[in-house]
Structure 1
Amino acid sequence: MNRAFSRKKDKTWMHTPEALSKHFIPYNAKFLGSTEVEQPKGTEVVRDAVRKLKFARHIKKSEGQKIPKVELQISIYGVKILEPKTKEVQHNCQLHRISFCADDKTDKRIFTFICKDSESNKHLCYVFDSEKCAEEITLTIGQAFDLAYRKFLESGGKDVETRKQIAGLQKRIQDLETENMELKNKVQDLENQLRITQVSAPPSSMPTRNGTQPPPVPSRSTEIKRDLFGAEPFDPFNCGAADFPPDIQSKLDEMQEGFKMGLTLEGTVFCLDPLDSRC
């Protein structure tokens, strides 16, 4: 059984960058549904998802239910799945969350993509039936992903890693400040113990055995206001004007991780019959 994907190489993009950046590319399709998968990529992952949803489609068809039609709107902002007549958005899949996209070489109508759900963080495989447009839709999603990643880098995403390193250094400084404070507290405790010892010692007016007074013990300051090393206090959370608020920073980090994972475009054979010679 041939389980390997035939990877698309040297494919030219289907649309102009402006069409995906300023507008969107619409496609009509039938939505077989979505199902949770364990991995964000992989031949067997999508193969099992397609098999499961095709089987469910046959059951619904035998019960007289029709496969719902949807409109796909593909742009650099994601893949929207809408009800064709009302234009109500049923699903909005952001591109940096889409990790895998494939079309069925034995059935030109079937294509799928895997997207990480924004709420549950589960990987969902979406399966569609689009007459003779499966490969074109797959490539359009790939082109949109490529453009979105470039736009992300141009808009400041390339600085995310630098800001992460700075945040790591700030955390290290915070740890050092905490350690420094603990040392200062220990010094304070030692000074308090020394003060108690001085108070409980014999009065200085008592003569020694040779009749002389002992030299006065130099007093030590009990206030430790300054840093032990003379450094000014440091606030690791004092962000500069170029830094992003935490919620936006978190979003940028998420987008960077998604784009870093990449989008795999594949074509394969989805066979339902294991005895089929094409598998």
Structure 2
Amino acid sequence: MNRAFSRKKDKTWMHTPEALSKHYIPYSAKFLGSTEVEQPKGTEVVRDAVRKLKFARHIKKSEGQKTPKVELQISIYGVKILDPKTKEVQHNCQLHRISFCADDKTDKRIFTFICKDSESNKHLCYVFDSEKCAEEITLTIGQAFDLAYRKFLESGGKDVETRKQIAGLQKRIQELETENMELKNKVQDLENQLRITQVNSSPSSTPTRNGTQPPPVPSRSAEIKRDLFGAEPFDPFSCGAGDFPPDIQSKLDEMQEGFKMGLTLEGTVFCLDPLDSRC
């Protein structure tokens, strides 16, 4: 697999691994909302999304609506967005679905991340106002992603790609075995027809006592099925098939694809205003 994420070399992680793996790091923020984006990564992508949501929030504010406050709980299991009073989970963004995270260097309050929705599979950009903690939250998500990626590998995720390749080979072998068996059956039918023809055309052939022809040669279908090379069917999951039932395998495949895409942290290189000379 490729490196799980990219980040500036001068940044260091802010929390202990135990804090993110056994507990979570809470942050308070204002939630500007989420909007669909066309791409899973890119500064321009999130810049447009932020502008869109800030404009929509400005309209709502002029109508007397306040920007809702939320609590962010960041751990190796994802980023949860909760109501700070009721603790009701509004959104649960799994880390392997988060592909891009950035903060605005001209406005230390704004940070955003792109996450692939689990139901619609659309890419959604979430935007927050975090009271000058944007960079810290961005790095915390990056650290959580790094730890989750390592945990995924340690728990057997590194075998997912191998298992997928083996499963593909197994499927192809089964197809060849089926094709081979069909050909064998056709050959057997031709042999039976030829035997019957030879018996009928032979001058010394005599009918059986009951007037019927000799029974055909027993079918070979009762033999052990073998592949084109004469070997018994290949079953790579015979020892550990129960470890990954279809539903779990599907989730592992999804996690592998997410971690393989990686998380890009823009950190302090993100800027909302393209006219700003500091960008």
TM over 0.5: yes
How far apart, CA to CA, are the structure 2 residues paired with 1:41 and 1:152?
Answer: 22
Q: What is the TM-score when the length of structure 2 is the normalising length?
A: 0.84
185-194 or 130-139, larger mean C-alpha shift: 185-194
- State whether residues 110 and 129 of structure 2, in contact with CA within 8 Å, keep that contact through their aligned partners in structure 1: yes
Q: Tell me the residue number matched to 2:16.
A: 16
Q: Deviations over 1:118-148 (max 9, x none)?
A: 1111110000001010000000000000001
- State whether residues 192 and 217 of structure 2, in contact with CA within 8 Å, keep that contact through their aligned partners in structure 1: no
Post-superposition offset of 1:210:
31
How far apart, CA to CA, are the structure 2 residues paired with 1:34 and 1:203?
Answer: 89
Larger Cα-atom Rg: 1
Q: Tell me the residue number matched to 2:52.
A: 52
How far apart, CA to CA, are the structure 1 residues paired with 2:212 and 2:77?
Answer: 90
Post-superposition offset of 1:172:
2.2
Count of paired positions: 279
How far apart, CA to CA, are the structure 2 residues paired with 1:235 and 1:6?
Answer: 39
Helix, strand or coil at the partner of 2:244: coil
Q: Tell me the residue number matched to 2:201.
A: 201
> Is the alpha carbon distance of 1:142 and 1:206 closer, same or farther for their aligned partners in structure 2, counting shifts above 3 Å?
closer
The aligned runs of 1:241-256 (5 Å cut-off) are 241=241, 243-256=243-256
> Is the alpha carbon distance of 1:59 and 1:186 closer, same or farther for their aligned partners in structure 2, counting shifts above 3 Å?
same
> Is the alpha carbon distance of 1:220 and 1:278 closer, same or farther for their aligned partners in structure 2, counting shifts above 3 Å?
closer
- State whether residues 208 and 214 of structure 2, in contact with CA within 8 Å, keep that contact through their aligned partners in structure 1: yes
Say whether residues 1:166 and 2:154 are aligned partners.
no
Helix, strand or coil at the partner of 1:231: coil
Helix, strand or coil at the partner of 1:242: helix
How far apart, CA to CA, are the structure 2 residues paired with 1:129 and 1:211?
Answer: 95
- State whether residues 69 and 84 of structure 2, in contact with CA within 8 Å, keep that contact through their aligned partners in structure 1: yes
Q: Deviations over 1:58-98 (max 9, x none)?
A: 11111111111000000000000000000000000000100
- State whether residues 104 and 271 of structure 2, in contact with CA within 8 Å, keep that contact through their aligned partners in structure 1: no
How far apart, CA to CA, are the structure 1 residues paired with 2:221 and 2:188?
Answer: 10
Post-superposition offset of 1:35:
0.5
CA RMSD, aligned part only? 6.1
> Is the alpha carbon distance of 1:235 and 1:186 closer, same or farther for their aligned partners in structure 2, counting shifts above 3 Å?
farther
> Is the alpha carbon distance of 1:191 and 1:216 closer, same or farther for their aligned partners in structure 2, counting shifts above 3 Å?
closer
- State whether residues 96 and 258 of structure 2, in contact with CA within 8 Å, keep that contact through their aligned partners in structure 1: yes
How far apart, CA to CA, are the structure 2 residues paired with 1:84 and 1:120?
Answer: 27
Q: Deviations over 1:224-275 (max 9, x none)?
A: 9888876545667756356411111111111111111111000367766665
- State whether residues 78 and 94 of structure 2, in contact with CA within 8 Å, keep that contact through their aligned partners in structure 1: yes
Post-superposition offset of 1:115:
0.4
Post-superposition offset of 1:215:
20
> Is the alpha carbon distance of 1:214 and 1:86 closer, same or farther for their aligned partners in structure 2, counting shifts above 3 Å?
closer
How far apart, CA to CA, are the structure 1 residues paired with 2:109 and 2:55?
Answer: 16
Helix, strand or coil at the partner of 1:44: helix
How far apart, CA to CA, are the structure 2 residues paired with 1:232 and 1:180?
Answer: 13
Post-superposition offset of 1:162:
1.9
158-167 or 78-87, larger mean C-alpha shift: 158-167
How far apart, CA to CA, are the structure 1 residues paired with 2:117 and 2:208?
Answer: 84
How far apart, CA to CA, are the structure 1 residues paired with 2:271 and 2:17?
Answer: 35
Structure 1 unpaired stretches of 5+: none
- State whether residues 5 and 269 of structure 1, in contact with CA within 8 Å, keep that contact through their aligned partners in structure 2: no
How far apart, CA to CA, are the structure 2 residues paired with 1:197 and 1:259?
Answer: 65
Helix, strand or coil at the partner of 2:30: strand
- State whether residues 100 and 113 of structure 1, in contact with CA within 8 Å, keep that contact through their aligned partners in structure 2: yes
